[in-house]
A = this chain, B = another copy of it.
Amino acid sequence: MELTPPDIVRAAYAELVVTDLAEARRFYVDLLGFVVSAESDTTLYLRGYDELIHHNLILRAGPEPAAARLAYRVRAAADLGRAEAFFAALGSRTARVPAGDTPGVGEAVRAEDPLGFTVEFFFEAAHAERLQQRYDLRRGAEPARMDHFNITVPDVRAAREYYASLGFGLSETIEDEDTLYAAWMFRKQTVHDVAFTGGAGPRLHHLGFFAHESYQVLRICDILGSLHAEAQIERGPGRHGVSNAFYVYLRDPDGHRIEIYTSDYYTGDPGHPVLRWSVRDPRRRDFWGHPVVESWYTEASAVLDLDGRPRPLQADKQAAEVIVGADGFTR
């Protein structure tokens, strides 16, 4: 019997463990410009300027950098039970988390998913103050909202199938005759809520936050250069082939990777067609053909299990996407 998956609305927030909360606050709040929804001695709750729920990002102080969980909002309270049953049927360990455990969020179900990530599903959410039109408060990249999770997995095809079983649509891929190197999947009507990068996993590749205009992507780079923090600009700004988005990848003080992402497209129609990129098209990762810095392919954040312990890594099970050109650059 096939189980009904929970009706997932979108990627809503992630929890990162950071080793120096003050340093993380400076990066995410003072420089990137996130709004502080709540904070304590050990934890920061941040959201973008458009966001109407409590947070898009939890930063929790801890001994080692890690991604603790990826949280999806579901459409109704009944989806919590569906999530529990769905993951139980997959043999995943699950936990029911009472309302109040996380500020601004109601009861939740967490699971160690088949890919090795701790995922969370919640329905109830307190509405945050609407700040979209408080331009006087905006700073940095003016992040608007959580856009997507990008996760590193040893088997991209398996990841795509698991997320398809959760009801995600497929928008774009990087592939060749034999291998699916990367895939982008969505619930909300954008290119993705989750994407998969091939590599040893489970690891979090990056968190993508939406901004409204290109100049916001440029400005955060200028700010980092101003502070001689240019080493935190890992890749870009540039135009993605996949998704068409204008992007930059930053590394936070613990090495967690953040993408500021703008100008992708609507995917909400039935039968939305998949865009398949050849792994041999040098424009797939950067539409302007620029090489991808090696760290972008090799580095990612450890993920934690339901008990907060690091998950063991599995080696990549498939061919590497990385193509080393005649010039020694990867593309």
Contact = CB atoms under 8 A, between A and B. Distances in A.
Contact of A127 (B75, B268, B273): B273
A225 B287 contact: yes
Contacts of A9: 268-270
Interface string A106-148: 0000000000000000010101001011111100000011000
A202 interface: no
Contacts of A145: 266
Contacts of A144: 265
Interface in A197-242: 212-215, 218-219, 221-228, 230-231, 233, 237, 239, 241
A135 B222 contact: yes
A79 to B, nearest CB: 10
Contacts of A52: 269, 272-273
**What is the interface residue range for chain A against chain B?**
35 or more
Which residue among A31, A225, A327 has the maximum number of chain B CB atoms within 10 Å of its CB? A225
Interface string A258-272: 000001011011101
A223 B9 CA distance: 32
Contacts of A125: 269
Contact of A225 (B31, B133, B219): B133
A188 interface: yes
A76 interface: yes
Nearest 9 pairs between A and B by C-beta?
A230-B289, A135-B222, A225-B287, A135-B226, A136-B226, A135-B223, A221-B288, A212-B263, A50-B265
Interface of A: 9-10, 31, 50, 52-53, 73, 75-76, 123, 125, 127, 130, 132-137, 144-145, 188-189, 212-215, 218-219, 221-228, 230-231, 233, 237, 239, 241, 244, 246, 263, 265-266, 268-270, 272-273, 275, 282-283, 287-290, 294, 327-328
